Amino acid sequence: MKRLVGFAIGGIFLMAAGAAFATPPGPGKKFDCSDTTGKTSCATDDTGCVPQSKDVPTGNVSTLKCGDGLAKAFTKAIQAVIKCHTKMADSVFKGAPVDDETCETSGGGKSAKEKLDAAVTKLVPVCTSTQLALAAAEESVLFAPKTNSLSLDAQAGAVYCDTSGTNTPIDPAGAGGDDAGTVDTTLTPVSAKPKLQCADATGKELGKLVAASIKCHIKMADAFFGGKDFDENVCEENDPAKGKAALQKYAAAMTKLTGKGICTQACLSAGNRTTLGSNILAQVEAANQLIYPCPGTTTTTTTTVTTTTSTVTTTTTTTTTLCPPASCTCAGGTPGKTKFTTGTG
């Protein structure tokens, strides 16, 4: 019995020791640990920083409650818009196109954009000015027309991409005309419907991938803020034990879709659908810094040169480079620059 008690006590001490050595990046530090050393948890492919406060925006660039809330709100908005595009494409296929703007932007308070606005408004008391500004910028691009390549309307064309015949836009001019993408209406409904089902399913699974990946980022931010280790890669990309990582679930869904034999359009081949998943995951990683921004890195260097006639002062300011708003889309984007003159919220 004494031996058993000894083992139990030893186990408790080992557990305590393990907990004591958990050293994730702390508040204000980068998730990828590029600004610190000796940490036990680092999300090497994630941008952004651990929030500086739980819910006090004053004097900080980010709060945990705001970041988590914004992440959830944008997840719902993106998935809602994908559903709008699905309904629009299906209506065109049936020969009765409807304008999806009431679904996306102006539905009497029930559209994707209006629900996002309402959610952000509720978060204002716990958000910093930096987080609110970045959220507003991201929203403006997400809901921009298809002429903006980073908008969700433009990205619909990566899913409804069939150009094998004389195809019909999923959003004809008479129904709004602001969404990219086409569906095949040249074949008989029986032979063309499988391709539409493939596109619908792909869009739905991409939305699930966005949601699952962002959920991993929320868990990571919460864990690191609380001083706990978290393996973000197991959650998001590769779970060797259970195979339940976000990207693995997407891959499994795509394998199942391939097995159905309905994805006959070249643009949604198995390889292209895998690429879509990889691209969207990369964009979620890049967008993390818009939700959990880092303390301002603006630095000012002043050099004074005195001559017999005047004094010349030179000031150099650095900027923080962020990926563009609305990077949670199906394709890549070019980084843009956002200039912060202060590190406070």
Burial zone of 132 (CB within 10 Å; 0-12 exposed, 13-18 middle, 19+ buried)? middle
CB contact at 8 A, 150 and 156? no
Report whether pLDDT(336) > 80: no
Output the pLDDT for position 145.
Answer: 87
Report whether pLDDT(268) > 70: yes
Output the pLDDT for position 17.
Answer: 40
pLDDT band at 169 (very low <50, low <70, confident <90, very high): confident
pTM of the model: 0.79
- How far lies 124's CA from each of 17, 43, 74, in Å? 40, 28, 15
Output the pLDDT for position 7.
Answer: 41
Mean of the pLDDT values across residues 163-188? 71
Q: What is the pLDDT of residues 205-242, one digit of tens each?
A: 999 999 999 999 999 999 999 999 999 999 999 999 99
Report whether pLDDT(303) > 90: no
pLDDT band at 287 (very low <50, low <70, confident <90, very high): very high
Report whether pLDDT(152) > 80: yes
Q: Percentage of the chain surpassing pLDDT 70?
A: 76
Non-local (6+) Cβ contacts of 50 within 8 A are: 24, 25, 26, 27, 28, 29, 30, 31, 221, 224, 225, 292
Output the pLDDT for position 204.
Answer: 97
pLDDT band at 340 (very low <50, low <70, confident <90, very high): very low
Mean of the pLDDT values across residues 248-260? 98
Output the pLDDT for position 132.
Answer: 97
